[in-house]
Structure 1
Amino acid sequence: MPLPEIRTVDDLRGALSRYGFPGDRERFEEELAAAIGASPTDDFEGAAAVVRAYRHRVLIRNSPEIMTALEDARAEEAEPPSGRRSVI
């Protein structure tokens, strides 16, 4: 299923709720509120960075290629190295 366009913060909220990793929506709201609270009134670059990061997370979560690569990496980490002996 293709992702909807994410053009606004409300679009991103909806995408995080539907397509994000578990807990992303809640963490997004917390990080966005903290970034807005810490921003000068004429510069919301911190808040924009939070929005960009979570938009990217949605795109990653819904990329079959990236998710396959992550699963492969996790499987490799779980496998013990072959051919190595412990030296005691």
Structure 2
Amino acid sequence: MSAQPEYGWGTMPKPEIRTVDDLRSALSRYGFPGDRERFEEELAAAIGASPTDDFAGAAAVVRAYRHRVRIRNSPEIMAALEDARPGDGGP
């Protein structure tokens, strides 16, 4: 299907994410519902569980949520998700 999604996902600007604060802002504005809150919880848990010289777990959380923002800002991916959504009316 080549029609534009109903919610105008194709027109969203791509946020620049260089820092964790940039990611927080992007999640608040462009993330899926609840992403910002889950990010904060997962990041805090990862930091709390990390040895003081290895923050690989926290870095993995940051990468995962940065990827979610990129997905949310991809018109192709969002159109595919919309097409995969069950239709109204059911069986």
Q: TM-score normalized by structure 2? A: 0.78
Cα distance in 1 for residues equivalent to 2:72 and 2:14: 11
Matching of residues 1-88 of structure 1 within 5 Å: 1-74=12-85
Flag the structure with more relative contact order, 1 or 2, with Cα contacts below 8 A and sequence separation at least 6. 2
Greater than 4 Å deviation, 4+ residue runs: none
Please state which structure has a larger fraction of its residues in helix: 1
Cα RMSD between the aligned structures?
0.8
Structure with the greater alpha carbon radius of gyration: 1
**1:4, CA displacement in angstroms?**
2.4
Name the % identity.
Answer: 93
Q: What is the aligned residue count? A: 74
Q: Which runs of 5+ in 1 are unaligned?
A: 75-88
Cα distance in 1 for residues equivalent to 2:52 and 2:21: 21
Q: Which runs of 5+ in 2 are unaligned?
A: 1-11, 86-91
Q: TM-score normalized by structure 1? A: 0.81
